[in-house]
Structure 1
């Protein structure tokens, strides 16, 4: 009987160890920050037209060295027709927001639909579009994405250069596009223990207050926050009996991940 109990206990401990290892592996994968968040935005250089309507159906990105098979689809928030002239003088619109593996984006492919047109002196004309409607316009970009950082990537149409009049009352769309990216703020991450404190983490800078709910192993992250000096507050569930804690003067830099020392709450 004693031998059976010992065997059963050992088996239970093994199961617990395997379960904990699996959970730790999954959470460490997220906490190690193997991905970056990418915001894809559309903007426009000025053009001398009443409107320029472009039918954007899909966007693909390539973060590999395989220019043939290394493409990943980026789900668009709203595929369809956009008036480029709505996004002049620094105005842009969000096309997509996705988590992608960190690394270097080498190319973007923009796939257009058939509903492209230009309005000139109040009259609308269809825009004949090149083969990019099927295969996609291939745009070169070399953007290095750091794990845990939020980036914005702009697709900047030059409407004036992209519209070509044929001389017979017809217009062609031969897109002239510039792409560029930048990091938007920095990232603060760390761990608050023990998990049974059920803590909420607050990041405060002046009037800005952000909240994070840690994972089951206590990992938390604030991404895309403004550069500056922040204070962190660790507030446990009031029913757990743990006391609050805080860390002042946490420096945040754009494009940098700041790792905060582990905080252990006490009763």
Structure 2
């Protein structure tokens, strides 16, 4: 099981709260925005039992039907696809993006209009580290045309929109018959309007002299969201649709601690539910 670096969740809450789901803020100044909307894309990860999982992000595209004139730079091809400008391309360890931490991939202006799909394009430098050994991850579909994610949202001029790409590492890595590994990304595109966030901190018994990483899972009949705690026991589950959930916290097996359960966790639109300190 991978232990996360010592990242203070509460220190980054404000920075990532906007990426907890889909955010739209109108300022009624559409005459000054020249037919454009602001689009932010972040990436985070549901937990996986590997040492590291590196993905090579090359580009992000959207398929858009524009409305009128716009001052936004960027070419739109015959099928309506355009690359977002200023994408933070690079190789990222998905397992550093748990416990509420997210990576900003793009923060840019796009033409106002109807966006049907988003496309995440990966390069060839993808790999997984298992028991200290680095194995290449083959990503044929993502390299050729990009992983298409259904968005189906109208972007209004003068408004701000934020989307979260939530990788599910365990489902995304597939073992091949010859001992190799393929990356077939399974991503939850969080475009839920009025989504919330659930945060808290696990407390281990005073006599237990070890760092304990726990798997935190929030679940109801239609949604499952999970993350690992960080080195200080903090956790954050972002992009949570409003509703009522059951929460389970599963400490690592070597700790000898039992699973903690909580029912009726209520998540409200555009609010953070702070569960406080939870003693394991």
TM range (shorter): 0.5 to 0.7
| Residue number in structure 2 paired with 1:46 | 47
| Distance in 1 of aligned mates of 2:44 and 2:92 | 10
Runs of 4+ aligned residues of structure 1 deviating over 6 Å after TM superposition are none
Q: Is the 8 A contact 1:152 1:182 kept in 2?
A: no
Q: How far apart are residue 76 of structure 1 and its match?
A: 3.8
Q: Deviations over 1:197-220 (max 9, x none)?
A: xxxxxxxxxxxxxxxxxxxxxxxx
1:152–1:182 distance in 2 versus 1, CA, 3 Å = farther
| Residue number in structure 1 paired with 2:183 | 173
Q: CA RMSD in A?
A: 2.8
1:76–1:165 distance in 2 versus 1, CA, 3 Å = farther
Q: SS in structure 1 opposite 2:142?
A: helix
Q: SS in structure 2 opposite 1:161?
A: helix
Task: Note if 1:62 corresponds to 2:72.
Answer: no
| Residue number in structure 1 paired with 2:170 | 160
Q: Is the 8 A contact 2:88 2:104 kept in 1?
A: no
| Residue number in structure 2 paired with 1:244 | none
TM-score, normalising length from structure 2?
0.51
Structure index of larger Rg:
1
Q: Which has the higher contact order (CA 8 A, sep 6+)?
A: 2
Q: Which residue of 90, 98, 105 corresponds with 1:95? A: 105
- Taking the TM superposition and a 5 Å limit, the aligned residue runs for 1:67-216 are 69-181=79-191
Q: How far apart are residue 104 of structure 1 and its match?
A: 2.4
Q: How far apart are residue 29 of structure 1 and its match?
A: 7.1
| Distance in 2 of aligned mates of 1:30 and 1:72 | 24
| Distance in 2 of aligned mates of 1:83 and 1:164 | 17
Q: How far apart are residue 181 of structure 1 and its match?
A: 2.8
| Distance in 2 of aligned mates of 1:57 and 1:154 | 17
Q: Deviations over 1:190-237 (max 9, x none)?
A: xxxxxxxxxxxxxxxxxxxxxxxxxxxxxxxxxxxxxxxxxxxxxxxx
| Distance in 2 of aligned mates of 1:90 and 1:146 | 28
Q: Deviations over 1:50-92 (max 9, x none)?
A: 1110001111101229996200111244312111111113221
| Distance in 2 of aligned mates of 1:140 and 1:182 | 12
Q: SS in structure 2 opposite 1:160?
A: helix
Q: How far apart are residue 105 of structure 1 and its match?
A: 1.5
Q: Is the 8 A contact 1:150 1:183 kept in 2?
A: no
Q: How far apart are residue 30 of structure 1 and its match?
A: 4.5
TM-score, normalising length from structure 1?
0.54
Q: SS in structure 2 opposite 1:89?
A: coil
Q: Deviations over 1:31-61 (max 9, x none)?
A: 2662210011111111111111000111110
Q: How far apart are residue 141 of structure 1 and its match?
A: 1.1
Q: SS in structure 2 opposite 1:38?
A: strand
Q: SS in structure 2 opposite 1:85?
A: helix
Q: Is the 8 A contact 1:117 1:126 kept in 2?
A: yes
Query: Which structure 1 residue ranges, 5 or more long, are not aligned?
Result: 1-27, 185-253, 255-267
| Distance in 1 of aligned mates of 2:129 and 2:117 | 31
| Distance in 2 of aligned mates of 1:148 and 1:89 | 32
1:94–1:172 distance in 2 versus 1, CA, 3 Å = same
